[in-house]
A and B are shown apart, each in its own frame.
Chain A
């Protein structure tokens, strides 16, 4: 009797999951396999007749070009820059939201605005703010800097935009971890004479390790895919091209499906590598938690 029930239960479960599973396979697994296949061909939509199997030549082409390595370096600069600033700011914001009663719901509501705003709009708002012709930043700072036309200042604006837009998300994830820290433990530490700093670094932070790792994982992968902000603010000029911009230009602007697919596959591999690093870290952090 119970075996029959299990069978029908299993069948129903699959029936319910199939549409979602099919959609996910159709739009991700299939295209990435197709990209893998296309990346082995010389295939330029402008010259479709010259399509030919070339093996790994596209990969060799991408990996020996300066463009790929420079864009990878740029992407890492933006990723590390924005995620590390976000971690600090996000933690401050989470602590603030956790403790403050003053205007509590206004604070919580207003930090959702950067999250909800369209990335393109945020990027343009900051671009106009820093623009020497329309912006107010230069007069306020008493400068005449053409921010987005020089490499390092452009990075600064791009990172600032990313930080503004995504710190709230980071803060909310950290806040969720913060609420899991038992109040008694903090009170006990206070009674034992631990300073606020000690309480944070010795009690709160170790207990939040998993929340921090999850927040970092999500944001790092997200930052690595950065496209919108760079596209709007510099279009990849001034040596600010990121890997997503390189892939987009090869595929959509130059219609070179072979080379562009090779870039896509390489980006995918980078993301897998980053995710694996984090999962390893998370595993270690869970293991450490089990021991204590």
Chain B
């Protein structure tokens, strides 16, 4: 920081930092607090719980619905990520390394899908999936997730691949490495950070989605956590099971938040990769 900057200004920016941190974490703290309140205290309108109880966590894991949804969410998001990143890797390699006429076409298609409103396809997909037996199955969700994350993955990977000094591969070959060795020891380590970044962002998208999950699933067979939480039923039809919702929310928020905190730099690089080049 430049020395002539006033104490007041420094104080201003520091307070700003603290305000931003509080802003970001406030609702998370609130849902955590809600999940720890005993059932009797749920309606006490307090931000901080008076007493701490784990009863809601025990309740959601004792029920069949939430563990099933958690398993579906993890599995579907993982498979979608694997597929989207693999397909995007091939396409991004071709876009960066090879000269061919369809390049602009592929990038244009990716751009238009990034802007595509998912609600415009849920009707046809709903009908189609019911006819070919994909309704309420894992592949029925994996397919749309994979497609809607392909543009993001292609962008990120192209941006990262462009920075790789591909000629190193030739140098390794000259030094006597086999093509596979050159790939494994030279290119793969350079490409890994980009692939990893793309994978995190694709995973977050699939993990986050509610629209497809709500429209294309109906039971524990394929219903993911966002849909399960939104359709949790309480003791009566008109009452939201606040405690269970809060506990389930914390369970699915904490692991992803930790991953995001650990890989902060990569995620920021990935999110801005496509935009800077505009």
Q: Name which of B51-59, B109-117, B166-174, B190-198 contacts chain A.
A: B109-117
CB closest chain-A residue, reference B99: A9
Q: How far is the CB of A40 from chain B (nearest CB, A)?
A: 13
Taking CB atoms, residues of chain A closer than 8 Å to B128 are 31, 34
Asked if residues A252 and B20 are in contact (CB atoms below 8 Å), the reply is no
CB closest chain-A residue, reference B125: A31
Instruction: Categorize the interface residue count of chain A.
Output: 35 or more
In-complex Cβ contact of B94 among A13, A23, A100, A139 (8 A): A13
C-beta contact mask, B35-76 vs A, less than 8 Å → 1, else 0? 000000011011100000000000000000000000000000
Asked if residues B122 and A265 are in contact (CB atoms below 8 Å), the reply is no
Asked if residues B34 and A24 are in contact (CB atoms below 8 Å), the reply is no
Asked if residues A105 and B150 are in contact (CB atoms below 8 Å), the reply is no
Taking CB atoms, residues of chain A closer than 8 Å to B177 are none
Which residue among B17, B91, B115, B144 has the maximum number of chain A CB atoms within 10 Å of its CB?
B115
Residue B3 lies at the interface, judged by CB distance under 8 Å to chain A: no
Asked if residues A228 and B109 are in contact (CB atoms below 8 Å), the reply is no
Q: How far is the CB of B171 from chain A (nearest CB, A)?
A: 21
Residue B278 lies at the interface, judged by CB distance under 8 Å to chain A: yes
In-complex Cβ contact of B25 among A23, A110, A121, A173 (8 A): A110
Asked if residues A168 and B24 are in contact (CB atoms below 8 Å), the reply is yes
Asked if residues A116 and B230 are in contact (CB atoms below 8 Å), the reply is no
Asked if residues B116 and A271 are in contact (CB atoms below 8 Å), the reply is yes
Per DSSP, chain A at the interface is helix
- A-contacting residues of B (Cβ < 8 Å)? 1, 10, 13-14, 16-18, 20-21, 23-25, 27-28, 30-31, 34, 42-43, 45-47, 87-88, 90-91, 93-95, 98-103, 106, 109-110, 113, 115-128, 143-144, 146-148, 150-151, 154, 204, 207-208, 210-211, 214-215, 225-226, 229-230, 242, 245-246, 249, 252-253, 256-257, 259-261, 264, 267-268, 271-272, 275-276, 278
- B-contacting residues of A (Cβ < 8 Å)? 6, 9-10, 12-14, 16-17, 19-21, 23-24, 26-28, 30-32, 34-35, 38, 45, 92-93, 96, 99-103, 105-122, 124-126, 128-129, 133-136, 138-140, 164, 168-169, 172-173, 175-177, 180, 210-211, 214-215, 218, 221, 224-225, 227-228, 231-232, 243-244, 247-248, 250-252, 257, 260-261, 264-265, 267-268, 271, 275, 282
